[in-house]
Amino acid sequence: MVRDLVHDVTFLAQKSEEATKDDMEVIQDLKDTLDAHIEECVGLAANMIGVKKKIIIVNMGFANVIMVNPKITKRLKPYQGEEACLSLLGGPRTALRFEEIDVEYLDENFEKKKGTFKQFVAQIIQHEIDHCNGVLI
């Protein structure tokens, strides 16, 4: 189901909880909501659709990838990135990002995965994980 985007910064600033297999509906809602906003959006976190769970979806260009309970385990090459956010009104803001990251996560079938991500995809993942942790740009 396509959900409305949350703009309440008090809600968005709260830390999300670990997701479980009981949150499969949230995964589908993230897919549907990203599809509905694909022209202006490259990623979403569950709290952006009103659910405080650590689930993100990232458009990697070739596919939308779900990451459940993602954790960044390695960061390389810091830089100041410029980003916008559908949940935060106003123009782009700067944020400390890393050109390359390693991430451990569960896929949408709750199977353990690890990946190394670079450049723009790494930036999207960092932005969405920040959402899970209540960090706003």
Q: Which residues are tagged catalytic?
A: 128
Distances (CA, A) of 15 to 54, 59, 76, 130, 135: 9, 23, 25, 9, 8
H-state helical runs in the chain: 9-12, 24-36, 119-132
Which tokens go with 68? 């459940």
For residue 19, give the 3-state DSSP assignment: coil
Which tokens go with 75? 């960061």
| Cα 95 to Cα 102: distance, rounded to the nearest angstrom | 19
| Cα 33 to Cα 136: distance, rounded to the nearest angstrom | 20
| Cα 74 to Cα 93: distance, rounded to the nearest angstrom | 24
